[in-house]
Amino acid sequence: MVSKADLIVGIQWGDEGKGKMVDLLARNYDFVVRYQGGHNAGHTIVVDGKKYALHLIPSGILYPSCKNIIGNGVVISPKALISEMAQFESMHGGLKGRLFISTKAHLILSYHELLDKLSEEKAKVAIGTTGKGIGPAYTDKISRNGIRIEELKDTQTLAQKVFDKLQALNAKENTIPTFSLDSIRNELDSYAKALLPYLANTTAMLWKAMDNNEKILCEGAQGSMLDIDFGTYPFVTSSTTTAAGACNGTGIAPRELGEVIGITKAYCTRVGNGPFPTEELGEIGETLRTKGGEFGVTTGRARRCGWLDAMAVKYACRINGVSALAMMKLDVLDGFETIQVCTGYKDKNGEILEDFPSDLSQVTPLYTSFKGWDKTAGVREFENLPKDAQDYILALEKFIGVKITMISTSPDRNDTIFRE
């Protein structure tokens, strides 16, 4: 029987702690595959007290036996990827034979970043992007005007293409810097030298791996509430962040997906602008931010913080077909006298909503209160958690309808509770 690919997906607005879970589970897989997003996302992984920040390279890179794929659904900044690769060159004999990049992945070049920043400056209501060029790169891709990484095989032709793009953009915007053809080609040559050895037909690799019963783990960036279709539009990212994106971004068919593991924090955060019903602007939000280290891996931006929105988690679990949940950062809630969870919404007319709305900007959260607890940090067995923390977990999985099978109690990979 052909093996199926498992999937880890963020259930909130991103930054749920997917990196730790992928890192923790990767030891059991032959391949880890990143399927969408760009270097605006980041995973922080702590191993034996050492911190690793990953933006494009899959988290399985920390295991020497694991092959890592950057799929066709990812948009790649060559500059960012080359910089990230450098930190792993001395690890496990380098990256050759362990890192593979889809020939179909699209490139983010410097003009995409400029367009991103211009768009934010001109917008009446800014999205709050990281300015990394992700949106404009996906815009080019969807408008059939993008640049695939395999085009680095002919830098002379590609340099002319980029030069013409810059000329056209400058004529329209009058703010895009112009570069000489030679300078563009020199830059592209440096990218080609560094990245071409890692290009591969990654879809064929994955099909062959499944035919050989090798185990595959797919990981996404951001979270389901930032999905281009099902998130808090227009305050979303530019790709499909749900489980469906794993098929688009790798070439793995829907029927070839196995377990779908959803990742949620024990509370809630988001970055950028957009609705956030459970946001706490006062002392509670600041306490969560400080204790949870809620600052962006990529940008250093402070994250907006609030109580867990279980309505959004339940919605995202259904959208993704989640078969098991992992709850991160339970220890951050240590010390609160009372813990609130959003288990319903009222609309602007005071009516209780039966279904998840398409617009969260007009809803008021309805909270269920839980008694607080202390000292979950570092706990590795469910029965050793404080009784009130156990009650919190059990009540949540009953409301959401998905079992919480993994619970993280510190950033360290080993401080994790597994439940059957």
**Structure tokens given for 93:** 């004999």
Q: Is 215 annotated as a binding residue?
A: no
Q: Is 303 annotated as a binding residue?
A: yes
**Structure tokens given for 282:** 């006062």
Q: Is 98 annotated as a binding residue?
A: no
Q: Which candidate in 6, 23, 39, 43 is catalytic?
A: 43
Q: Is 92 an active-site residue?
A: no
**Structure tokens given for 320:** 């993704």
Q: Is 237 annotated as a binding residue?
A: yes
Q: Is 409 annotated as a binding residue?
A: yes
Q: Is 15 an active-site residue?
A: yes
d(CA 270, CA 306): 9
Q: Is 380 annotated as a binding residue?
A: no
Q: Is 77 annotated as a binding residue?
A: no
Q: Is 144 annotated as a binding residue?
A: yes
What is the β-pairing status of strands 99-102 and 216-219?
unpaired
Q: Is 59 annotated as a binding residue?
A: no
Nearest to 5 by CA among 206, 201, 203, 204: 206
CB 143 within 8 A of CB 88: no
Find where tokens 């259930």 sit: 11
Q: Is 43 an active-site residue?
A: yes
Q: Is 175 annotated as a binding residue?
A: no
Query: Which residues are within 8 A (CB) of 50 and not within 5 positions of it... i.e. 6 or more apart?
Result: none
Q: Is 153 annotated as a binding residue?
A: no
Q: Is 301 annotated as a binding residue?
A: yes
Q: Which candidate in 106, 132, 141, 215 is catalytic?
A: 141
Query: What is the distance of C-alpha 160 from the center of its chain?
Result: 34
The sign of the CA dihedral 195, 197, 200, 205 is negative
Give the three-class secondary structure for 305: strand
Q: Which candidate in 6, 15, 23, 116 is catalytic?
A: 15
What is the β-pairing status of strands 5-10 and 199-200?
unpaired
Active site residues: 15, 43, 141
Q: From the annotation, which residues make up the binding site for substrate?
A: 297-303
Q: From the annotation, which residues make up the binding site for IMP?
A: 15-18, 40-43, 130, 144, 222, 237, 301
Q: From the annotation, which residues make up the binding site for GTP?
A: 14-20, 42-44, 303, 329-331, 408-410
Q: From the annotation, which residues make up the binding site?
A: 14-20, 40-44, 130, 144, 222, 237, 297-303, 329-331, 408-410
Q: From the annotation, which residues make up the binding site for Mg(2+)?
A: 15, 42
